[in-house]
Amino acid sequence: MLFEAVRTEPPAADEEVVGTRAAIYARVSTLAGQSPQMQLDVLREYATRRELEVVAEFVDHGVSGARDHRPELDHLMAGARRRAFDVVLVYRFDRFARGVRHLVTALDEFQALGVEFVSSSESLDTSTPMGRAMFAIVAALAALERDIIVERSVEGQRRARARGTHVGRPRREVDEVRLLSMIDEGKSVREVARTTGLSRTVVGRVKRERGAA
């Protein structure tokens, strides 16, 4: 198996919860020679110092951080949505998120749910003013990254068009002789499109390019 659940069941809704409930998440990328034990030890010790009650532990074994879905991470997010715990503890950002945008998206969701997030190695704790400031910086960097990607994409398309390169989906093969013949017969763009199975946009483009009346 690629993963092993190491979870304790969250307390039932009618049980009294002493202190703040915490969930631990740990991950190792390979099954060979890697163990999550160090991460778990550090996070359990952190929880003890903070007087947090660890109600659940989620551990993904042999699962790449680049994967969109990881079994135990999915269970963690489902637990957060049920408000089964109040804070999520991770050893390091890269153990939890596959990138800055994923991290920001997850932290946004935690914030909306009222669930705090702590990364022990990076000393980020969203329950503190400094942690919230760091999160704002991470979010700004993610937005900057998105803007740069969009800007590069738009510039690349502009340069391609300037070179006469078609940008977008490949153009559909069109029997222009037949199409223009139908237009010359007085058929409307809508009729030609319906008969040929082409879109009205394609028919109109051919008509304009060929200067058909």
Catalytic residues, which ones?
29
Closest CA to 95 of 168, 159, 17, 26: 26
Helix (H, G, I), strand (E, B), or coil: what is residue 189?
A: helix
